[in-house]
Structure 1
Amino acid sequence: MGQGRQEKVATSLEGAVSKEISASLAPVDAELERRYPGDPGTRQPVHTVYVPGDVFAAGTVRSWGDQALAALDEHAPDAASLAAVLGLSAGLAEPVHDRVRAKLEREPIEDLRVDFEDGYGNRPDAEEDEAAARAARLLAAAYRNGTATPYMGIRMKCMEAPVRDRGIRTLDIFLTGLMEAGGLPAGLVLTLPKVTYAEQVTAMVRLLEAFETARGLEPGRIGFEIQIETSQSILATDGTATVARMIQAAGGRATGLHYGTFDYSACLGVSAAYQAGDHPAADHAKAIMQVAAAGTGVRVSDGSTNVLPVGPTERVHDAWRLHYGLTRRALARAYYQGWDMHPGHLPTRYAAVFAFYREGLEQAAARLARYAARATGDVMDEPATAKALAGYLLRGLDCGALDIAEVARLTGLTRADLEGFASPRRADPTV
């Protein structure tokens, strides 16, 4: 009774009230849009590999993949042995092992940084000049011949006085070399290390602006990552979060925040034996980074472990278990990227990532399918949860943990549908 009755709608406020409120909040709307544009919707690599500038060569990526495959063949040659080392369930063992092998054969590195900082050290100027020019030539060639990783770039020296000029010159040589070789590649990534003050970020912005002007590039074309390695980069002397200031100082150029495990731990006086990604000091720093970056479009990357999987099988297995556990821990805390320092880390990086996405596939797909169909279930999800579910599936697809066919079968959704749920504002042409 009464279902077909049309309700009488009455209001008390004049239309001008809404207009006045909207006008008063227009500056806030603009500020929210500027400071919190949301995730860029692009692929985020699962790791970054650092290779010293004097070691990087045309065959580095393939060499890392081959070394990782050799380690897998020697220390965990089949699904059962890998599962025994890492504690994988019977249902995950085969698909994870098969996908790890396929990944190492097809795309062993997702993000590579030619290192001119700690991994390279201080060299004669002529030597670093030549290494920077060589890095540009090799990267340009890799993009031309299709052997480039999805993301590639360099880590320059920091903006501190003793090495500032050297870092600026190396970056200039590298970027100029790329321009001379045909232009800046789409996957170019630059890393600014040991950032302590927001003013150092501002200086990096000025440097990139000057280069863009000199080479006739579109303003804002070049972005960079900020490496968090000092206590001052987390907490300023007045008690505010310095890292939040750094993001704003970048003026939209910051693409990521990378946690430096060992420099940061040492800065706080953590003993060498306890410097690790799961130390409480590390958790605190990364939590601050995560909150500061939320909604800004800047992504957070975890650090690395310095325990290398080398030597006898027992020692390799111990190192693999440690790396696998740290990676799974980071993923559960929404740090979807980390550093890998050795080819032997690649098998467990991908094993951890693939297990993370595959073990949650069916539940995430079912929840998103119910949400999309507006069906009921044992969990009542909201748009924010649908966004997280879609993002989870997209990250799994991007790294190779999942296939679009199986995701489509379980959700009834296309990749475009997933992207619409993951970034609804970007999917709306009116925004």
Structure 2
Amino acid sequence: MSLSVALMLGLTIAGCASTESAPTTAAQRVDQAVAQVTDALVSQTQSLSGMLDTGRRGVVLDPMIDANSGQQTVSTQLLQSRVSDRIRSKHASLELLPFQRANLDKAAYLLTGTLTRQRQTGKSRGALQINLALTDLRKGMVVAQSSAVLRDDELDNTPLAFEQDSPVLPKDQLIEGYARTTVTPAGQPADAYYMQRLPVAPIVSEAGTAYNAGRYQDALNQYNLANATPAGEQLRVLSGIYLASVKLDRAAEADKAFGNIVAFGIANKQLGVKFLFNPGTTVFWSDPKVSGSYGLWLARIAQVSTQANVCMDIVGHTSRTGAESLNDALSLQRAGYIRQRLTGVSGVLGDRTRAAGMGFRENLIGSGTDNAVDALDRRVEFKIVGCDRAG
């Protein structure tokens, strides 16, 4: 596995494989797709022995995500809201409970959901696939899974405030496990790594809600509470501590938190750190409110990677806007600039790194909108390689 440091508001991990169940191939409007995917999910529960009695079964919903980026977006919130409304209005056998620690012990089932962008052709915005899964909380088995295809022209895929502010994209092993669980066929076990860390998920969710509402002290308290548990060591928690500390003007705590983020990424060989460039250039974004911390970030990345004695390929990427040849050149130039900045901090990285450009051939979103939606397409990756390849 490679260490991927995604610059330019980006992340490096591709979406998960599609589910084995057969989704409708034609993209539908939001309400149609939600009705289809929700009804199909609940219908599968009718054959379960536990659903044959007249009592309602409790369900907790872990907040839905974009599977390509691991982010929560306006679209994933919309999906979550519409699916919840459909269950409440059409499926009396299930009772949605607030996503709280106490309710994990009360509920019978866990509901997870993702949106995954399908491969884009031409200049169209393409479509998104909805995946839902219902997991038996006692047995850790997926009991129902369904999919549908959703038109993208009705959606707002802008990341939420936490995701936009975060120095890293939170797609770590936990997020991958969530996404894998959501495409797991019925009768198969949910992802073990994700399920083992589920008890801390309500705390992390509450912290994110507080941050998005501007309640930064509450958010910091919750993130620190999560971090104090063995299951709390995850990118979303470490990023939350950093962000809330920045908002509260606690510079020393923020500096330490960012160092912990980089160390976590090195240890897990997977990290995405976000930088923003001025359009068409290798110059960091001019607004110091955005780019003012970049020097610190680069210094910490250089320091930790040097101490870890790793070698890296630094690979640039761009969005789909513009000619392929121009994007290939720009992506290489940005990778080279990042390499130059890192070696300026730690000279030994000159022999441990090399730059490459991929243009838009490895886009993860591919919308070509050149905004926060496809920002992860405009990234520079750091990939750990054998030191016989670097330099």
Q: TM-score if structure 1 supplies the norm length?
A: 0.30
Q: TM-score if structure 2 supplies the norm length?
A: 0.32
**Whose strand proportion is higher, 1 or 2?**
2
